[in-house]
Amino acid sequence: MKQIFYSAAGIGISLLFWTSAQASDKVCLEYEPVVVILSGKITRHMEYGAPGYGEDPTHDEKEVYWYLDLDRPLCVNGKDEVSPDMESEEDIRELQIVFHKYPTGQWVGHRATITGTLFHSDSGHHHTKVLIKSESITRTAR
């Protein structure tokens, strides 16, 4: 049975959740500042940037981004009371990774566990509805 670990940190409170993954399970996570730990496969994609972000591929910049293809879909609870940009999302299967510092070595195509915080897309450089700000990344067994 596959096991997935999620971590949540609040003001003065730290919780660790251990969930057995089954087809009927639905785990909804929270946006930042809650810290999560997610696993999946690292992929890299070319996306279009300025000026048209894909509207004019001939003239738009070509940018490379890293993604975490999740082991299983998840949902994220909205925080409309905090910001209308933090809306609820369902069936998230892929997260764009935002690194403070890109890791060295060969990561693309490998499985990894990422510790970080989730946030909702809010610019043309964000290519998934929900992104993860990586605090740490660890390569895991295939």
**Over the stretch 17-54, which tens digit does the pLDDT of each residue have?**
323 333 445 669 999 999 999 999 999 988 888 888 88
Question: Which pLDDT value is given to residue 19?
Answer: 33
**Is 15's pLDDT higher than 80?**
no
User: What does the alpha-carbon distance between residue 95 and residue 116 come to, in Å, rounded to a whole number?
Assistant: 12
The amino acid present at 127, given as its one-letter code, is H
The residue range of the domain holding 12 is 3-139
Task: Read off the tokens for 32.
Answer: 């930042």
Q: Is 56 exposed, middle or buried (0-12, 13-18, 19+ CB in 10 A)?
A: exposed
The percentage of residues in the chain with a pLDDT greater than 90, rounded to a whole number, is 49
The b-or-e profile of 107-137 (16+ CB within 10 A means b, else e) is: beeebbbbebbbbbeeeeebbbbbbbebeeb
Q: Which of 136, 65, 49 is nearest to 101 (CA)?
A: 136
Question: Which pLDDT value is given to residue 130?
Answer: 96
64 or 90: whose pLDDT is higher?
A: 90
Tally of domains in the chain: 1
CA dihedral 75, 88, 107, 66 (to 10 degrees): 150
**Is 85's pLDDT higher than 90?**
no
Q: Which of 104, 97, 108, 105 is nearest to 135 (CA)?
A: 97
Strand-pair partners of 31 = none
The rounded mean pLDDT for the chain is 80
Distances from the Cα of 77 to the Cα of 15, 33, 115, 122, angstroms? 17, 13, 18, 17
The amino acid present at 19, given as its one-letter code, is T
Preceding peptide of 33 cis, ω within 30°: yes
User: What does the alpha-carbon distance between residue 99 and residue 79 come to, in Å, rounded to a whole number?
Assistant: 23
